[in-house]
């Protein structure tokens, strides 16, 4: 039987004190013991800026399988974000809870580079950046060339608040599934090579991602890879996927199932030539872990990689074949020509087309947009990041994940929320 507790909130001047009985809650449905309620609520409120009335909802969503909370939309405008920035960088960093002090020696000795593609919602990006930020890392932001006005200005001014955050020099006009999506990442990769010569690995993300690991846990995950890239994928055999490269694709108007017309890459009747150097066509995920040496080789040294890049320009979604195909080339630093696997510790995406997958948020482009009620499943994933989040639908999902991360970063409640160990594929274990 669940015990009930009475929460008394006493106001003394501007200080709120939460008095809660400090016993464990036993969840009869799945025998999960929650830590003392006082510790949970205090840490959430202190480290993640969550109001006392919301703290209990976060606790329930993170550790209860059948949480009932409804989505909480946040419609903070781009102009409001600009107002926060106009109050000064220190005030902005405080509002979004950036951790700017030096981290551990282990983190300092293993800087990580990030390529982040954005096209909307500076407010959500500020939440994400504050959750992944470390002064030891370096962050390149690519903002879609279509983005103008206060949205672009907010991204630009945000970057100016940090010595290790910058906008890429060359912006691409991104069409869904076009070559520009791949080129945008590559622009950031080129800039990161120049801006900082110390980073070890690069992680590419988009503005709707959110971390599931602290920066220290990310560093340990990358170190455990022992210099290998992680680019999950598979051989291509079905006609639908092969059609992506069998026919030339061009940008054109497309009406989606909601009746909205948008520009997408559409197939023509023109046959596409086979890939250069007799390469085998593969399919990979868009979000990966890349070593610095591999990216330098791809960008500056490999003739095969350069030829494949040129060949890919009029294919469909080339970012979903280019990286695995180059990773499997002979001589690719950190590559494995004899290993193909879908296993990934990078980004968790809940594809609704996969059997048994369920979504308690809503579905966009066949992908679950997470709500607070999805967090019980999300927090148990082995990946380092998750996608998708949308604060205009439910801001509490990323806010509660931020609490969960801060709790580990600060070493709180280690029995309930222990440090996460690296997640390793069998083929890397065999090599180490």
Do 408 and 389 form a contact (C-beta atoms < 8 A)?
A: no
Q: How far apart are CA 402 and CA 355, in angstroms?
A: 29
Select which of 60, 107, 157, 320 is catalytic: 320
Parallel/antiparallel/unpaired status of strands 165-167 and 138-143: parallel
Q: Centre a 10 Å sphere on the Cβ of residue 234 and count the other Cβ atoms it contains.
A: 14
CA dist 168 and 175 (Å) reads 18
Q: Are 325 and 281 in contact (CB under 8 A)?
A: yes
Q: 320 an active-site residue?
A: yes
Residues shown for the chain: 432
Query: Which helix (DSSP H) or strand (DSSP E) does residue 176 occupy?
Result: none
The Cα–Cα gap between 185 and 177 comes to 13
User: Which is nearest to 315 in space by CA: 242, 253, 254, 366?
Assistant: 242
Contacts of 301-307 with C-beta under 8 Å, sequence gap 24+, read 302/326, 302/329, 302/331, 302/332, 304/276, 304/277, 304/279, 304/329, 305/329, 307/276, 307/277
The catalytic residues are 320
């Amino acid at each position: 039987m669940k015990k009930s507790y009475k929460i008394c909130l006493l106001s003394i001047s501007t200080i709120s004190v939460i008095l809660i009985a400090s016993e464990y809650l036993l969840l009869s449905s799945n025998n999960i013991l929650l830590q003392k309620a006082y510790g949970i609520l205090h840490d959430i409120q202190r480290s993640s800026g969550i109001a006392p009335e919301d703290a209990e909802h976060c606790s329930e969503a993170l550790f209860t399988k059948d949480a009932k909370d409804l989505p909480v939309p946040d419609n903070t405008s781009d102009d409001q974000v600009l107002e926060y920035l106009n109050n000064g960088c220190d005030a902005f960093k405080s509002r979004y809870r950036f951790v700017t002090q030096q981290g551990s020696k282990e983190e300092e000795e293993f800087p990580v580079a990030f390529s982040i593609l954005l096209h909307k919602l500076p407010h959500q990006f500020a939440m994400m950046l504050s959750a992944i930020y470390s002064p030891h890392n370096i962050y390149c932001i690519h903002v879609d060339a279509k983005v103008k006005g206060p949205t672009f200005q907010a991204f630009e001014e945000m970057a100016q608040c940090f010595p290790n955050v910058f906008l890429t020099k060359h912006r691409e006009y991104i069409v869904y599934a076009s070559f520009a999506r791949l080129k945008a990442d590559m622009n950031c990769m080129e800039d990161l090579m120049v801006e900082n010569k110390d980073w070890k690995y690069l992680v590419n993300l988009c503005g709707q991602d959110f971390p599931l690991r602290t920066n220290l846990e990310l560093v340990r995950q990358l170190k455990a890879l022992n210099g290998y890239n992680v680019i999950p994928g598979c051989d291509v055999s079905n006609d639908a996927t092969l059609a992506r490269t069998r026919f030339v694709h061009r940008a054109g108007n497309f009406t989606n199932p909601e009746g909205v017309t948008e520009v997408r890459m559409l197939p023509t009747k023109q046959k596409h030539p086979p890939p250069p150097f007799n390469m085998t066509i593969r399919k990979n995920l868009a979000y990966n872990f890349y070593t610095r040496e591999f990216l330098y080789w791809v960008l500056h040294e490999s003739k095969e990689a350069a030829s494949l890049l040129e060949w890919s320009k009029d294919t469909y979604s080339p970012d979903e074949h280019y990286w695995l195909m180059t990773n499997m080339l002979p001589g690719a630093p950190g590559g494995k020509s004899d290993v193909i696997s879908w296993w990934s510790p990078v980004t968790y995406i809940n594809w609704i087309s996969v059997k048994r997958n369920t979504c308690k948020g809503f579905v966009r482009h066949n992908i679950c947009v997470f709500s607070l009620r999805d967090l019980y499943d999300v927090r148990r994933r082995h990946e380092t990041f998750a996608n998708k989040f949308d604060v205009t639908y439910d801001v509490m999902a990323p806010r509660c994940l931020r609490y969960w991360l801060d709790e580990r970063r600060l070493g709180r409640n280690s029995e309930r929320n222990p440090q996460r160990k690296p997640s390793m594929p069998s083929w890397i274990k065999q090599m180490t």
